Amino acid sequence: MFKKLAISITVVILVVVAVVLYNTYNFASKQFKTEKIATNIAIDEAAILRLAEGIKQPTISYEEPGMSNTLAILQLHEILAQSFPLVHEKLTKEVVNNFSLLYEWKGTNSSLKPVILMGHMDVVPIEEANKAEWIQPPFEGKIVDGALRGRGTLDDKCAVFGILEATEMLLKKDFQPERTFYFVFGHDEELGGEQGAKVAAAILKQRGVAAEMVLDEGMYISTGDMIPGITKPVALIGVAEKGYMTLELITRIKGGHSSIPSKETSIGVLAKAVAALQDNLLETHFTEPTRMFFEYIGPEMPFGLKMVVANQWLFEKVLINEMTSFREGSATFRTTTAPTIFHSGIKENVVPYEARAVVNFRLLPGDHSHDVLDKVKAIINDERVEITTISHMNEASPVSSDKEAAFKVLAKTIRQVSKDDIMVSPSLVLGGTDSKHFKDLSPNIFKYLHIRMTGEDLKRVHGTNERILVEDYNELIRFYYQLMLNVQQMQL
């Protein structure tokens, strides 16, 4: 009996090993093959100076009521008009809701669906606590050691200026597109785009625009060692973005003098609720964008990692555990929980009546806000904690397909203009972009900015010493230039 059991176990092991090896050796590369044809596109040396003028405008989006960036936004409009005279002569420009910009470059073939290219003009504030850590002042537009430094160089004025630089270059060559282009430049992306991009999207929808593709910021070229087992740069094309939900937690318990505190206080009860949320993070799981990512990256990994990725039916938990060991990986596999504000108390010897906390959640595709809210209530499990939704809320975006010609055009363009051997992969955007407002205009919405980013560079976005290398900005312009040509030549 034991002999038969041992034989059966051995057979099962051999079958499993055979399946694992078969899947690994047949895990074929999905990288696109194309010749580099656009790396020699000449870029005007003054292009970086024009972007620098835009950086000088403090187009800060403020959360605080009463604070405004309107003058800086309007000044930026003037800079764009002066910097790109042919664009403003040949294209139709429309100011949306007083401050956002919508350009139309009319194509000659109305049967071709248009392409929408996006960027945003606003930036986040500078933290006073670390303002002194900036190597160069954030709004002086200084070029130092081959890099333009300042707030907005990466997020996201480089896209606004890069798109217009490429368009100006094409206009100088008397290029007339067959396919209509729309350029959408929002003024409040850092506040959710409710007054800018959302309004522009509604205008285009009302006019019956159905786009073949929408391209906005979101992901980037990952360099260094940010992806385990991968040494080549990887262009990560966002095919979806996480949703956004913010909850306010409030407790109200009778306070009084701190010399005779009650057994439980509003601060104590609320602190337990927040701690419970952090101790019971929402479950991890694969999403469609994550599976797509591993389909593209897995075949390029060393044999051991390739074997794990190729056999997720066996190693899925191992893969998730490995990826969630660092914060970016954890955010890719779960709806995240982030306490961001805690307010209570007015005096050191007064036990406050009310305590308030704000917790932000970024929702994975497939995790709906009402389900997350139910889980939060179950985790806290305390009727004394009032839970309400505040701020704007968005479900995770639909997932755009990598099988469509629009994705393939992007991949081809990336490989054509890159100075090195670059890989391409779909990915999930962990933050939010203005493109979320365009889901009714196109099924092909991609979030990608052709900029190289190391782990240190990622810290600069919304952080200190934001910068863009001059050579990287020139390659970004080449990317937009070649993309505009490619969407004309290829049947989408």
Maximal CA-CA distance, the chain: 88
Residue linked to tokens 């991949």: 411
- Which amino acid is residue 269, in one-letter code? V
List the catalytic residue out of 156, 165, 168, 189.
189
Report the alpha-carbon distance of residue 215 to residue 452 in Å, rounded.
17
Assess whether the previous peptide bond of 122 is cis (omega < 30° from 0): no
Is residue 78 flagged as an active site residue? Answer: no
Q: C-alpha distances in angstroms, 423 versus 47, 299, 418, 477?
A: 27, 11, 10, 19
For 121, the 3-state DSSP assignment is coil
What's the chain's length in residues?
A: 492
217's enclosing H/E stretch is strand 213-222
Neighbouring C-beta atoms of residue 19, cutoff 10 Å: 13
The two tokens of residue 344 are 């209570």
Q: Please, are residues 364 and 283 in contact by the beta-carbon 8 Å criterion? A: no
List the catalytic residue out of 122, 190, 217, 367.
122
Is residue 421 flagged as an active site residue? Answer: no
Q: What share of the chain is helix, strand, coil (3-state, %, to 5)?
A: 40, 25, 35
Report the alpha-carbon distance of residue 218 to residue 428 in Å, rounded.
9
- Cα dihedral sign, 406-410-415-416: positive
For 204, list phi and psi in degrees, rounded to 5: -65, -40
Q: Supply the DSSP string of 399-442, one letter for each residue.
A: PPPSSSHHHHHHHHHHHHH-SS--EEEEEEESS--GGGGGTTT-
Q: Please, are residues 304 and 382 in contact by the beta-carbon 8 Å criterion? A: no
Active site positions, annotated: 122, 189
